[in-house]
Structure 1
């Protein structure tokens, strides 16, 4: 038989040892603050050499991120707000950028598609951590039409098209088994009917009115450069944009 007093003493000793171990261990806050953010070899931002339009600078930075081996350099956070002002954000992939704006695609009946229908003003945020750079793009979002939407859908991989066709995005799912059955059926459909297009699939363009570039570099601190225009980006065949205004911001 074990003496209850000895058992209590052993438990107290173990408890004190556990508290001592926790006291010696860094807190989550301390561990987060100790994490590295950027590397030492950062290109920064030469504001004096910045071009007159933000698309040129953005493409330069994107190509730099690609060349540097940044993972998913075309990934961006799309931030939206619905008619009631409720803000949401999610990560998606940039499809193109040019005079028409920053292009992406999603289902028009998804939460982000519904939010864009209620309130077309949105923002895209790109972070290239390895290069110490961030870009924020803001402005109205417009659908690019049925032809562009169908072309985007058909350019996706079979697996991606099956995922889009399998069920209503963000709807409640009863079980993973139900999802797998629907996904398998959708994949079979994609392979037997390769021209199938999801009717709610929509290509969009964010017509930037503000584009902000931020960069950090070890020797020069931080730099922020903002481009603004009072007009949306032109569509093909439209008159040229009146131009962009550049201004420095305090980091």
Structure 2
């Protein structure tokens, strides 16, 4: 690459993130930030980087979509036999990171992950577009495949198999929920003096602290 990467930078010109704005628990602030991101970032505002660790201690990250945020935690859906599914079966500690460049904001969420109820998975699957349902049945996610053509033929076979029928949710497909024990809110600020407000779960509730940028 001939481009000068050192010169690519910008100064962040957003308002402070102060303790009184952050509140005493993280969920209200997260919901407020997510609503603002949905308004300001039309392309995939619910996209997040999910990081897991394999049995040898190697980290793996990929982008998935947040599909629910409630009192249980932060939920997404996937193939349980995928690489991330296998890694979560071995080590259920994970991290989710949201980054909204238009707002110069980042949220990092750490915690433990478990599967959601089968009922919740089936209900969400039924709400997906039909093409996405068929793709979930077609794809052996993360497995090596022969070619794009082979994948397309498998998809067409699923189309024919469920012609004029509801597409059932595969047994190996469903949701996960991350139950957080740490959440950090990062707000970009001028001269790299960024704001970092952190919430750590304690027995009595949430401990709020500020970290240096």
Please list every run of 5 or more consecutive structure 2 residues that lacks an aligned counterpart in the other structure. Answer: none
What is the aligned counterpart of 2:8 among 23, 32, 35?
35
**Which residue matches 1:244?**
206
Q: 1:155 aligns with which of 123, 127, 144?
A: 127
Q: Tell me if structure 2 keeps the 8 A contact 1:70–1:128.
A: no
Question: In terms of Rg, which structure is larger?
Answer: 1
CA contact (8 A) 1:38 1:130 kept: no
1:109 Cα deviation from its structure 2 partner: 0.7
1:51-62 aligned at under 5 Å gives the runs 51-62=23-34
Q: For the structure 1 residues 220 and 89, does the alpha-carbon distance in structure 2 shift closer, same or farther, using more than 3 Å as the test?
A: closer
Report the 3-state secondary structure (helix = DSSP H, G, I; strand = E; otherwise coil) of the residue aligned with 1:165.
Answer: helix
Indicate conservation of the 8 Å contact 1:120/1:140, yes or no: yes
Segments of 5+ residues of structure 1 without an aligned counterpart are 1-25, 232-241
Structure 1 residues 193 and 39: CA distance shift in structure 2, 3 A? farther
Q: Which residue of the other structure, out of 146, 149, 164, is the alignment partner of 1:174?
A: 146
Contact 1:127 1:134 in 2 (8 A): yes
- What is the number of equivalent residue pairs in this alignment? 213
- The residue aligned with 2:176 is 204
Q: Per-residue deviation at 1:161?
A: 1.2
Say if 1:39 and 1:130, in contact at 8 Å, map to a contact too. Answer: no
Q: Distance in 2 between matches of 1:249 and 1:226?
A: 7
Aligned partner of 1:75 among 47, 51, 59: 47
Taking the aligned partners of 1:61 and 1:229, their CA distance within structure 2 comes to 20
Q: C-alpha separation between the residues in 1 aligned to 2:194 and 2:47?
A: 23
Structure 2 SS opposite 1:49: helix
CA contact (8 A) 1:161 1:190 kept: no
Match of 1:121 among 80, 86, 93: 93
RMSD: 2.0
Partner SS for 1:117: helix
In the TM superposition, residue 185 of structure 1 has moved relative to its aligned partner by 2.1
Higher relative contact order (Cα pairs below 8 Å, separated by 6+ residues): 2
Residues 190, 58 of structure 1: CA spacing in aligned structure 2 closer, same or farther, 3 A cutoff?
A: farther
> Any conservation in 2 of the 1:209–1:229 contact (CA below 8 Å)?
yes
Following superposition, the deviation at residue 189 of structure 1 comes to 4.1
CA–CA separation in structure 2 for the residues paired with 1:141 and 1:175: 33
Q: 2:102: which partner in 1?
A: 130
* Aligned equivalents of 1:211, 1:36: Cα separation in 2: 26
Change (3 A) 1:53 1:129: same
Task: State TM-score, norm by structure 1.
Answer: 0.78
CA distance in 1, matches of 2:103, 2:184: 16
Provide the secondary structure at the position in 1 that maps to 2:196.
Answer: strand
Partner SS, residue 20 of structure 2: helix
